[in-house]
Amino acid sequence: MAKLYFRYGAMNSGKSIEVLRTAHNYEEQGKSVMVFTPAIDNRYGKGQVTSRIGIQKPATVLAEGTDIFGLVQQQAPDCILVDEAQFLNKKQVEALCEVVDELGIPVIAYGLRADFRGQLFEGSYHFLALADQIEEVKTVCWHCRRKATMNMRLNNGIPVFEGAQIMIGGNESYLPVCRQCYSKARKQTALVQRGSAAADSETEH
């Protein structure tokens, strides 16, 4: 029986590589796959799933008005793969549920669970709520080598904890870290900001 799978992991956990590997395994068996990627992810050009080691595969771009169910019904693949699934909206996630339930085609979605503030993305929220099976793609913290569960955003190498939820970037902008290292960096940043605010106040007086 077909299922909706949500496989989540922190940045740099190899999710895109898993998309490409799974697609290759299906195609090696003579089966067809449809690969979707959100329009917002344009790091390597739209319509491409690209791993950090340079492997690429063309993908169907998911825009706001894309008729997911209609496209899948027309092509009738053996499996659907979704990269950067955290960027999907509620309607798109529900359309993938319909693909599973009405067309009997498995859907495997890969994405981040939460943003750099520790808050769920819209797509991740609905995948966590609706998926038949949820799996973690694991990686290690870049600071202490514990399991990474958080995504730390960087600005010129400095951790930041405020800003817009979506900012497309790679290792220059994000690091996978454990909760302990994330909390430590956030506290240090808060201390620095308080110190700067106090220094500015003294200068004004």
The secondary structure element, H or E, covering residue 159 is strand 158-160
Which residue shows structure tokens 């027309």? 74
The answer, yes or no, to whether residue 65 has pLDDT greater than 50, is yes
The mean-pLDDT minimum among 99-103, 124-128, 167-171 falls in 167-171
Helix, strand and coil content of the chain, in percent to the nearest 5, comes to 35, 25, 40
The mean-pLDDT minimum among 67-81, 96-110, 170-184 falls in 170-184
Q: Which of 18, 28, 64, 84 is catalytic?
A: 84
Q: Contact at 8 Å (CB) between 91 and 66?
A: no
Tally Cβ neighbours within 10 Å of residue 7: 22
Domains and CATH numbers, the chain: 4-139 (3.40.50.300)
Given pLDDT bands bounded at 50, 70 and 90, which one contains residue 113?
very high
The answer, yes or no, to whether residue 203 has pLDDT greater than 70, is no
List, for residues 153-179, the tens digit of each pLDDT value. Answer: 998 888 999 888 987 776 678 999 999
CB-based burial, 148-171: b 16+ in 10 Å, e otherwise: bbbbbbeeeeebbeeeeeeeeeee
- Asked about 84 being catalytic, the answer comes back as yes
Distance spanning both ends of the chain, measured CA to CA: 71
Distance CA 180, CA 24 (A): 37
The answer, yes or no, to whether residue 81 has pLDDT greater than 80, is yes
